[in-house]
Amino acid sequence: MAPDARQLANKAREESQQYRNFWATPIPGRVLADRLAGHVHMHTLFWYLRPFGCSTTVISYDDEGPGVFKINPSGVVYVSFNFFFRLRPPAFGV
């Protein structure tokens, strides 16, 4: 759902800006993922808030190295340590 994803992207921008203003350093990926997961989880707790209908992937590279964090609509964060991205499909006969 595009509106849910847009709202989470705006929340990520807001959290990043607040972290930078307070700590004067960019936000680490793990901290951003935890804060977004808390926001998503809060929407599943209260009856007057509609739960989000999308998953979010936070990809970061900071002092701790690369990180991929997946946030489910329930607010659970999954951390991936072994990952790769393929830019194009493999050629036939290779």
The band of 82, judged by pLDDT with boundaries at 50, 70 and 90, is low
Least confident among 29-33, 62-66, 79-83: 79-83
The band of 65, judged by pLDDT with boundaries at 50, 70 and 90, is confident
Give the list of residues 6+ apart from residue 43 with CB closer than 8 angstroms, or none. 49, 50, 51, 52, 75
- What dotted CATH number matches 2-80? 3.60.20.10
State mean pLDDT over 36-63.
Answer: 93
Q: In this predicted structure, what is the pLDDT of residue 81?
A: 72
The band of 91, judged by pLDDT with boundaries at 50, 70 and 90, is low
User: Would you kindly state where each structural domain of the chain is located, as residue ranges?
Assistant: 2-80
